[in-house]
Amino acid sequence: MLKDQETTKKDHIRTVAYSAGMIVLIIFSGILLIGDFITDKFETLRLIVWMLTVSGGLFLFVRWHARTFAYVCPSCGAKFEITPFVDFISPQIPPNGKCLKCPDCQTRAWMREVSKN
Ligand SMILES: [Zn+2]
């Protein structure tokens, strides 16, 4: 049984801060590594390094999110965790929650996000 708590303001601030960090990483590493895209100095290797940097950052962010939050089904009340892959591909719209399929009742709905910490 998972212990769960309502998401707090601290959880939201952390999520926004990490999201902002990802945007900064994507933009600044993009400027540093592929800033010459417009000119003829563009190199494929730098594009690959940039894509690896962004992929790595995104992977760490999604893994953190999947490990930090669990979800509650509005139909049956089941609490469950999701994998980083499911976390990455499933839509999430605050304050509705995340659109997931309940592992207990098989209902697809907007699941309420709860903190695991
Ligand atoms: Zn359910």
For residue range 75-114, list pLDDT tens digits in order: 999 999 999 999 999 998 877 789 999 999 999 999 999 9
The total number of residues shown for the chain amounts to 117
pLDDT in tens, 16-73: 898 899 899 888 888 877 766 556 566 777 888 888 999 999 999 999 999 999 999 9
* Residue 7 pLDDT level (bands cut at 50, 70, 90): confident
CA 72 – ligand 1 centroid, Å: 8
Q: Which amino acid is at 76?
A: C
- In the numeric block, the tokens 């309502």 are attached to 6
CA 2 – ligand 1 centroid, Å: 15
CA angle, 67 then 73 then 79, to 5°: 45
**Helix, strand, coil percentages in the chain from 3-state DSSP, rounded to 5:** 50, 20, 30
| pTM for this entry | 0.74
Q: What per-residue confidence (pLDDT) applies to 3?
A: 52
Kind and range of the H or E run holding 48: helix 44-68
Q: What per-residue confidence (pLDDT) applies to 43?
A: 75
Does 1 have pLDDT greater than 60?
no
Angle, helix 9-34 to helix 44-68, in steps of 10 degrees: 170
Taking residues 3-21, report their average pLDDT.
82
Neighbours of ion ligand 1 (CB under 5 A): 73, 75-76, 78, 102, 104-105
